[in-house]
Chain A
Amino acid sequence: MPDSPRSLDEPKGFSRRSFIKTVGVSATVSTLSGIAEAAAIEHERAEETPVLGPGPVPIRFTVNGKAAQVKVEPSTTLLEALRLHLNMTGSKLICDRGSCGGCSVIIDGKIMNACMTLAIDAMGAKITTVEGLAKDGQLDPVQVSFVRHDALQCGYCTPGFVVATRVLLNDIPKPTLDQIKHALGGNICRCGTYTNIFNAALEASGQSPIMDQKGVTA
């Protein structure tokens, strides 16, 4: 198995091509009709790049500030690499097709579904999972607000929502309620904690929670 340092340190140019390579270049050419030229270039590049897979290949990335390495097949998702190979089970496997947000992680500053990302595509990336949000023993303000506003019930969707809220506040420090709803729109909670999640996001960004109507007492 080739284990070239060049390919390991070159995440961007490496991932897609090598993955396609593992599936088989001929299959790629036959399915992507009308791009024979691109396929030829692809083939040429594949010639120069060491073949990785289909067996396990070493993949290095940074998870929560620490260097991590897994040896997995190129078809392994980042979520499986985290859960099964690094035993970081905070990110959850719920829908396995990017429709619930339960596996949300931060890859190089962007929120991604770990179930829809191949581990090999995250090669060399800086990954933050829910386990990495608390720093030096201090909870992230988002986490404190989630607890205070009871923005969780069974808690299975919670890591995804916490991560998504963190990314939102990184991008928009004081989001409106509509911006919060939009940013969390890729996440699903079955217990029904959205109201409290909105309040937690508002509070964590230094804003007032949604107020109830006043003037009538039960």
Chain B
Amino acid sequence: MKIDTAPTLNGTSSIPFDMPTTNRPMNLGQSMNDNASRLDGIAKVTGAAKYSSDMLLPGAVFIRFVRCPFGAANLESVDDSAARKVPGVLDIDIQMKECQYNGQPVGHVVGDSPAAAARALAALKLTWKRLPVKTLITDSITKAPEPTEETKKLMAGAALSHDAVYSTPVQTHSSLEPHGGVVDHKGDKATVYASTQGTFSVRDGMGDVLGLKASEFEVICEYVGGGFGSKLGGPGKELTLAAKISKKLNRPAYLVCNRAEEHLDTGNRPSSRTVIRLAFEKDGTITGGEIRTFGGVGVAGGGGGVAIPSGRYNLGNVDKKHEDVKFNAGGPRPFRAPGHPQATFAEELMLDEIAAKAGINPLELRRKLFKDDVYKEMLEVGSKLIGWKDRKANGSQTSVMRTGFGIGAGGWGSASPGGNAEVVIHQDGSVESRTGTQDIGTGQRTTMAICTADSIGIPLSLVTVQIGRSTLPPGPGSGGSVTSPTTAPTMMAAAADAKAKLFEVLAKEAGANAADFSVKDGAVLRGGKQFLTWKDACSKLTADGVKGSASTGDGGKGASQGVQFVRIDVDTETGVIYPRHVIAIQSCGRVICRKTAESQIIGGVIQGLSFGLFENRILDRNVGAMVNPNFEFYKILGPNDMPHIEPVLWWHGQTGVKALGEPPSVPTAAALGCALFNAIGRPVRHMPLTPDKVLMAWEGAVA
């Protein structure tokens, strides 16, 4: 078999596209490409990939926001005389106003170097009058709401009941590439280098600020250093200000947030508080009750929804009410499966507590309560892979290190907002796939090439991909896991269209029917027999080649499902949890690229573990400032904290490409919480599951 090679580095070295990895034999279904490596892999491992934050253009100016240092404060006076004397300072603008959260911008400074801007910021003399702050949901909701009369009656008459409060903290996206980018306004045209999940939403939001028509500027995001939801929704305040400054000073304007600003003012997963009151029977049948949820949305008007009941389990007749609670903190933005990981933590741990009260194995209870057979099948496979038979009864172990097993489930509806794509077949046999949609690390560039190669029937090495530019055919924003379900069928249709046009050219020349032609393994067949090599066939084209295009509209694609199993060890002397093994079973329809699909699942699990174990935006309760706006004290799971993670792609005859980005991040923290309950025999209902909480629960358990 011919080795398919990737573009070369400096023209001499090449690494094969066809790079099988043999260490995941469980994924036995067939993906469109099992062995392809990421197209932009070489650019990323050599440092050649240019992100928007790498666009350090000659003559650029550097912008910094001036931000409120307190949770609530009134800016009473500004003395910028010293700041204006800092060498290299070009512009200072500060608005007097009352601020409602730490990190809220009140203005900006501009310097001709990062150091000049930083020195000007330090030289500003601002007088703030602090105001009282609220920093938690529980500052407003001081106790659990009274149950309704109906619930009281139901609980009183039930054989068993469960009444508990669960909570999750604020999690920040912590994309490693900060928000912002570079705007280079040249008067009658402009280039916007954006770190965004929506190339076209930036384009649509930029025109007015730039004072240009959409055809007069280009938004470029060839590489995006993560987003996880926080880079959706247009240019944002960062690029908007950069555009204004670039236009005003007629120089490229660079505005990229620092790490503290990322934690404070670029979105987050809102905190949650879930009050559950359910009645159930001795066999685990849940008859119903009420669930009250609260979302901690900071200063935002909403977005704190908690997706419980998830609908995956039969919970009887549940009365659900939700309320968003405001306090003095930066507001949320969509974060990988908004509302789901926090809800699943409450739902799954609640189920394990109900199972314990009813004396049923949690696996058995889920078999009974799952509505969809897919989840039940996943339970059987996953429980074997994790070794569920070795699970000990809750709290029954006596050693210092105790092992726990937990289960979590997650689902996600797939949608497709519609998009556009073009495929050009060139005279030399090379093929170009074009769609403006960005690759935020999911593998969009690679999947587009695979779709094109697969649809035409040619080796991947012939395909190049252009993405992440507003001048390319418009595609969707990378949110809601819609990108692949939208762009894959669109790109395949565009490739098929280009192929049909090639066949028309061949048919005309050969005096045959276009329908007689086909492509197989890189050769053009006529009437099923070898006719021309791909290169020879393409040489019949004119210098322009042929261009295929396709547009798709709205469409739903059904749901993706997943079940995860977690095994942990807990040190009962220190309270430290050691995750050991995670089985992540995930359905996602037809898999385009096996490696990037597995990576999505592994990544979702890691973010879920990090959420469950460590992450917590902590605000000082007196002044409302975040005390850990960094990576030392806002801990993210690192290499040393890693369990063995096994992604299992569930390919049971599903067709069509479905959501994969969000669903794997839903069940993990929940499964972790269940495993802890199993290990120490007491639930820890408030994330993150830090050693102090484990020890407090443990002391309760042995008392």
Contact = CB atoms under 8 A, between A and B. Distances in A.
B147 interface: no
B46 to A, nearest CB: 6
A190 B615 CA distance: 12
A129 B47 contact: yes
Given A138-B13, A192-B605, A89 B50 contact: yes
A189 B44 CA distance: 14
B690 to A, nearest CB: 19
Q: Which of A93, A158, A189, A190 has the most CB of B within 10 A?
A: A190
Given A102-B176, A144-B15, A216-B385, A154 B27 contact: no
Interface in A101-132: 102, 129-131
B585 A134 contact: no
B145 interface: no
B539 to A, nearest CB: 30
The interface size bin for chain B is 35 or more
Contact of B42 (A73, A147, A189, A214): A147
Contact of A139 (B15, B384, B440, B598): B15
Given A73-B115, A100-B631, A181-B639, A195 B175 contact: no
A162 B47 CA distance: 10
B38 interface: yes
Contacts of A217: 26, 28
Contact of A152 (B44, B175, B639): B44
A190 B226 CA distance: 8
A134 B10 CA distance: 10
A195 B602 contact: yes
Contact of A143 (B42, B176, B226, B648): B42
A156 B439 CA distance: 13
A19 interface: no
A83 B651 CA distance: 45
Nearest to B602: A195
Residue from B175, B176, B631 with most neighbouring chain A CB atoms (10 Å): B176
Contact of B26 (A182, A188, A191, A216): A216
Interface in B5-53: 6, 8-13, 15, 19, 21-29, 37-38, 40-51, 53
Nearest to A136: B12
Nearest to A155: B44
A195 B642 contact: yes
Contacts, number: 227
A218 B598 contact: no
A120 to B, nearest CB: 14
Contacts of B226: 153-154, 156, 190-191
Contacts of A162: 45
Contacts of B45: 130, 139, 142-143, 146-147, 152, 158-159, 162
B46 A133 contact: yes
A213 B387 CA distance: 10
Contacts of B442: 153
Contact of A218 (B26, B223, B638): B26
Give chain A's interface residue range (CB within 8 Å of chain B). Answer: 35 or more
Given A97-B630, A143-B46, A191-B441, A154 B224 contact: yes
A96 B256 CA distance: 13
Q: At the interface, is chain A mostly helix, strand, loop or mixed?
A: loop
A211 interface: yes
A150 interface: yes
A75 interface: yes
B293 interface: no
Interface in B133-177: 174-177
B636 A190 contact: yes
B630 A99 contact: yes
B606 interface: yes
Nearest to A101: B638
Contacts of A187: 638-639
B176 A92 contact: yes
A148 interface: yes
A193 B603 contact: yes
A97 B23 contact: no
A149 interface: yes
A10 B42 CA distance: 37
A188 B639 CA distance: 7
A181 B638 CA distance: 9
B32 to A, nearest CB: 16
A210 interface: yes
Given A89-B54, A208-B23, 16 more contacts: A89-B51, A131-B47, A138-B9, A139-B15, A147-B42, A153-B599, A155-B43, A158-B45, A159-B44, A162-B45, A185-B640, A190-B636, A191-B599, A199-B21, A209-B22, A218-B649
28 contacts: A80-B114, A83-B54, A92-B53, A93-B53, A94-B259, A96-B259, A102-B176, A134-B9, A137-B10, A139-B42, A139-B46, A150-B41, A150-B599, A154-B175, A158-B44, A159-B45, A162-B45, A185-B639, A185-B640, A187-B639, A188-B631, A190-B226, A194-B606, A195-B645, A197-B639, A213-B385, A217-B26, A218-B28
